[in-house]
Structures are given as structure tokens and as C-alpha cells.
């Protein structure tokens, strides 16, 4: 029986992925590094500093630690400007209904996002009441695909990993969920390792999840 659902944010609850893409693109242009959607796929679910490292390696550029901090915070400034205008209209199709169904069934929920901006985003989306716990990304030692974030989320809602399902749109995220010993819901047909794959969030239904979970 399923007792906890752990949500990724970006790409599952809302499409902040598009804002991350725009913000990184702007930064890559400043650094004179080629950047496109295909490369951007590799940054999904990956933390800010790690993303910058990937971009620099891709562009064969070396920077000092001070410069890295500077550019990472510059990207975050671009990103913060973009998320300031998020409204509940930015929720992905069907996700609000899915979260409400879960809440009504008495199943616990937690947010397992690598984003240090997650709190602001969920407040702007007006879904804070639908999440029992939010993992603080700033306190994590290892990023996805490490299972740490999902294990922490399960711990925060006081449920064993085996009673939890994680919902993810990124390969690194699905790997993290599986590594945590949980049931993985993959949003995106490319997520072959997930236990239940949906094409998009409108297909997420609690009844189907419960049936597949058994």
C-alpha cells in the first residue's frame, strides 16, 4: 500500500525547466559557449554548480572558484527574475487534481527538488498546503542521481522507502528514486527505467498509481 508520494518540482509540477533553460542560455552566451536544447537535457535535475561545471567542460573553458561563484549567482539572478511572475496558471496539466486526490486519500506528500528556489516557486503556485514536507536542497550533500534527496523526503514524512513513490521527469531523478528503493513514476516516454511511465502529467491518476504500485 502506498503511503507517501514524493514530487520533483521542475518538469513535474511546473515547467520551470524552460526558465532554467533560458537563464543558462543567456549565461552561456555571455561566456561564449554553445548552448542548445539538446545539451540542456543533461542539466535537468542537476544542481546549479554542477550544471555550471558541465557547461564549462562543454565549452572547454576553465574558471577560478571566484569566477564560478560569480557566474552561478548571475544565472540565478536571471532565473529569479523569471520565476517572480509564476502564477497557479503555470501548474502543469492535471497535477493539481493529482495532488488533491493524494491529499484526500490521506497519503503523505513531500517535495524532493534540487532547486534552492523551490520554496518561492511552490508559494507562487499556491500549493504549499498540498505538501507535508519540503526537502531543503541547500542541506544536501549529493545531487540526483544520488538517492539522498528521496531518502530524506521519505524520512521527513516518516514513511519507509518501500511505501513511497517518487515522481520525476529527469533520468537522473528516476535513477535516484530507484536507487532509494522506491516505486518510480516517470513523466516522459523516454524514462524507460521507471516503473510507471506516463507521457505527460495529465495522465497521472491516483487509482492507476495504486494499481501499478501493488
Cis geometry, peptide bond prior to residue 162 (ω within 30 degrees of 0): no
Q: Which residues contact 47 (CB under 8 A, 6 or more apart)?
A: 114, 137, 143
Longest Cα pair distance anywhere in the chain, in angstroms? 52
Residues 6+ away with beta carbon under 8 Å from 139: none
Of 133, 159, 169, 175, which one interacts with Mg ion (CB under 5 A)?
169
Closest distance to ligand B16 from the beta carbon of 29 (Å): 18
Question: Which of these, 157, 138, 126, 131, lies nearest to 4 by C-alpha position?
Answer: 157
**Options 6, 10, 27, 56; binder of ligand B16; rule CB under 6 A:** 10
Q: Does 116 interact with ligand B16 (rule: CB under 6 A)?
A: yes
CB of 106 to ligand B16, least distance (A): 25
User: Is 148 one of the binding residues for ligand B16 (CB under 6 A)?
Assistant: no
The grid cell for 25 is 542560455
Enumerate residues 156-195 that contact ligand B16 by CB under 6 A: 170
Interface ranges with Mg ion (CB under 5 A)? 8, 10-11, 45, 169-170
Q: Which residues bind ligand B16 (CB under 6 A)?
A: 8-11, 20, 43-48, 51, 76, 113-117, 137, 170
Amino acid at each position: 500500500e502506498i503511503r507517501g508520494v514524493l514530487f520533483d518540482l521542475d518538469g513535474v509540477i511546473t515547467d520551470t525547466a524552460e526558465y532554467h533553460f533560458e537563464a543558462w542560455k543567456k549565461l552561456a552566451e555571455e561566456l561564449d559557449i554553445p548552448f542548445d536544447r539538446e545539451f540542456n537535457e543533461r542539466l535537468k535535475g542537476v544542481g546549479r554548480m554542477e550544471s555550471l561545471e558541465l557547461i564549462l567542460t562543454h565549452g572547454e573553458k576553465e574558471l577560478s572558484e571566484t569566477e564560478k561563484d560569480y557566474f552561478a549567482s548571475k544565472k540565478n539572478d536571471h532565473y529569479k527574475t523569471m520565476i517572480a511572475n509564476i502564477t497557479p496558471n503555470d501548474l502543469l496539466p492535471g497535477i493539481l487534481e493529482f495532488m488533491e486526490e493524494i491529499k484526500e486519500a490521506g497519503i503523505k506528500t513531500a517535495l524532493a527538488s534540487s532547486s534552492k528556489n523551490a520554496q518561492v516557486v511552490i508559494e507562487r503556485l499556491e500549493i504549499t498546503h498540498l505538501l507535508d514536507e519540503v526537502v531543503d536542497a541547500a542541506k544536501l550533500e549529493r545531487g540526483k542521481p544520488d538517492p539522498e534527496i528521496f531518502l530524506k523526503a521519505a524520512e521527513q514524512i516518516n514513511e519507509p522507502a518501500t511505501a513511497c513513490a517518487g515522481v520525476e521527469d529527469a533520468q537522473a531523478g528516476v535513477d535516484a528514486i530507484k536507487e532509494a528503493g522506491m516505486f518510480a513514476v516517470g513523466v516522459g516516454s523516454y524514462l524507460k527505467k521507471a516503473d510507471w511511465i506516463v507521457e505527460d502529467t495529465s495522465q497521472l491518476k491516483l487509482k492507476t498509481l495504486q494499481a501499478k504500485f501493488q
